Structure 1
Amino acid sequence: MTDRLPHEKGFHVSWDQLHRDARALAWRLQDTGSWKAVVAITRGGMAPAMIVARELDIRTVDTISVKSYNHQTQSAPEVIKSPDPDVVKDGEGVLIVDDLVDTGRTLEIVREKLPRAHVATVYAKPLGRDQVDTFVTEVSQDTWIFFPWDMALQYVEPYRGA
């Protein structure tokens, strides 16, 4: 058996699927707290955070920018931009939204800054699942998720030739 590259065990998520899954996340969150703000982890958390904020009628939306990937290579997480401290304080009443938790290293650094926030992701992998309070779908650790903002439509040859 050969080792697979991250893209060889792929889970392709369309815009429609992401929208449905983010709405399912909002549905799970609707009775779990009284939210004063949503903080999206950029960049991947921005689309799901927008959908969750809309569904839960949360008008205050901010971002925390954490860089932990260079294409498909994970590196040490680094906070590039923090949310407004006057709004988020220690995280009480704040809903943090991201697209995915992988190893959990990004969320560790976010939880240090906002220890009382509720963390929600659309997708979760086993190594990082303990960092998340609410998620929708679990995928295996060796699955690479292809999000719609990373893909383009293109022609594909039929299985039995053209």
Structure 2
Amino acid sequence: MSLPDKAFPVSWDQFHRDARALAWRLADNDREWKAIVCITRGGLVPAAIVSRELNIRLIETVCVASYHDYLSQGEMQVLKGITPELLQNEGEGILIVDDLTDTGKTAAQVRAMLPKAHFAAVYAKPKGRPLVDTFITEVSQDTWIYFPWDLGFTYQEPIAKGSRG
């Protein structure tokens, strides 16, 4: 699979602004969150920013791998589940955070684990958008988002190569 024609490079500054904007929208929700469940790896950075802005101290990860070579989605694999305490009440009062919902496959998998949780993503594509409760920017389905942690002056291959997810 080749890279999409449309590219959306995101700088650290822009990502930080967008993640803070997400926190503002969530703060206006007038809810008190018990915990954040961030979808790794992409959800780690926005979860750190949102947790700071909303003063949420309990952060859990759910590790779902779908992109195995940075270009194509493969079979979904849950590498680490969610602690049983946070699964109680079907995730009511839990905030799920991710950087992007693309096809919605990962979002659907995590939503099935926490059906009553509130799902927030910084960016959303049309196929994944119906699974997200709150997001900041929608981009077209055929756009590839280049996140700042994936970039140097040009795309950087990860240091450790292989299929570790």
Given the two structures, how large is their TM-score scaled by the length of structure 1?
Answer: 0.89
Q: Distance in 2 between matches of 1:122 and 1:9?
A: 19
Is structure 2 residue 98 aligned with structure 1 residue 101?
no
Residue 83 of structure 1 deviates from its aligned partner by 2.0
Match of 2:6 among 6, 9, 13: 9
Secondary structure of the residue aligned to 2:112 is helix
Match of 1:53 among 51, 54, 59: 51
Count of matched residue pairs: 151
Residue 18 of structure 1 deviates from its aligned partner by 0.6
Give every structure 1 segment of 4 or more consecutive aligned residues whose post-TM-superposition deviation is greater than 4 Å: none
Q: Distance in 1 between matches of 2:13 and 2:82?
A: 29
Given the two structures, how large is their TM-score scaled by the length of structure 2?
Answer: 0.87
Is structure 2 residue 27 aligned with structure 1 residue 30?
yes
Residue 31 of structure 1 deviates from its aligned partner by 2.7
Percent identical residues: 59
Residue 6 of structure 1 deviates from its aligned partner by 2.6
Secondary structure of the residue aligned to 1:6 is coil
- The gaps in structure 2 that reach 5 residues or longer are 155-165
- Considering only aligned residues, what root-mean-square deviation do their CA atoms show, in Å? 1.4
User: 1:37, 1:88 within 8 Å by CA — same for their partners in 2?
Assistant: no
Deviations 1:83-109 (A, max 9, x none): 221134221110000000001010111
Deviations 1:36-86 (A, max 9, x none): 100110000000010000000000001000001011111232211012211
86-95 or 36-45, which deviates more? 86-95
Secondary structure of the residue aligned to 1:149 is helix
Seen in structure 2, the aligned counterparts of structure 1 residues 88 and 34 have a Cα distance that, compared at 3 Å, is: farther
Q: Which residue of 2 aligns with 1:159?
A: none
Q: Which residue of 1 aligns with 2:157?
A: none
